[in-house]
Amino acid sequence: MSYPFFEAMIAPARPQPQIWRIALGTILIGAIYFAGISAFFAVMTFLSPSQTVLLNTMNGTTPFGMMLLLSTFSFMILGTWAALKLHGRSFVSVLGHQEMFQRHFKRSVGFLFILMVALMFMPPWDILSELNQQYPVLKWAAFLIPAIALTLVQVSAEELVFRGYLQSQLAARFKSPIIWMLLPSIAFGLLHHDPATNGGNAWVITLWAVLFGVIAADLTARSGTLAPAIALHLLNNLSALLVVGLPGVLSGLALFTLPYRADDPELMSYIWLDLVAMGLAWATARWAIRA
């Protein structure tokens, strides 16, 4: 399969594509990210008036705690910037084709938003009656703008690492899309592996994340920019974190929550529906970047 537009992202990676640089860059991203988080929670521990506030922040179970948690992904962006220096690359080089980025982002967000709204009115309709409302709509709307902005920071950080840095650097070293699409996607999936929270659903959710990574990788390669992958990730996370979330961990910004926790076997029926929605979103984003 040919991805001619992806050359805009591969070309800056070609001068220094050594595996040891990629490995060192990945370690550097992880080190800066975890050092930043450790420092953040050390400050939170010092300033926090109670352990409850700290726990709510770590688990994202309140609006303020969830927004603080999303803000920590800025350390991942900083780590990506540092890793790119190992390859002599500019930060903007991982965004892809500069002239197409804005156009693809606007079109992808617009098309995917229409799809997201349409899916809310599609069967099975009995899901709506099962939702639990966490906040009055006006209270939820009050923190909506900063929540959207911080979600954009979070998804951009992950896309910069997995579809920007890793995918383009591996593509500069290996010709096969199986390597440069699948390896970052597997790493992305494993990052979401959380048996402590997801219980028996952990591996299913991990495989879901791997599939999401493959779809995002395909959109990145087809468009030659990170724009559609960021747009897809943004709309997915806005839906899951701000509109309908799971109770418990990471539920602090959700207007509604499902009646099942992440480790509940009953959640599997929603995961299958989510896979269908993911396929529709992939097709919609591909249409958006072609139109």
Mean pLDDT per block of 10 residues along the chain (291 residues) reads: 88 96 98 96 80 76 93 98 97 92 96 93 75 96 97 98 98 95 97 93 96 98 97 97 93 94 90 92 96 66
- pLDDT at position 86 is 96
The reported pTM is 0.95
Which residues have CB under 8 Å from 61's CB, separation 6+? Answer: 55, 248, 249, 250, 251, 252
Alpha-helix runs per DSSP H in 121-176: 126-130, 137-142, 144-159, 167-173
- Give the C-alpha separation, 40 to 98, whole Å: 33
* Calculated CA dihedral for residues 193, 194, 200, 203, nearest 10 degrees: 0
- pLDDT at position 129 is 78
- pLDDT at position 127 is 75
- pLDDT at position 152 is 98
- pLDDT at position 1 is 66
- pLDDT digits over 231-241, tens only? 999 999 999 99
- pLDDT at position 242 is 97
**What is the distance of C-alpha 191 from the center of its chain?**
11
**What's the Cα-to-Cα distance from 27 to each of 76, 83, 213, 290, rounded to whole Å?**
12, 9, 20, 36
Residue 256's beta-bridge partner residues? 133, 244
- pLDDT at position 59 is 86
- pLDDT digits over 37-53, tens only? 999 988 888 887 677 76
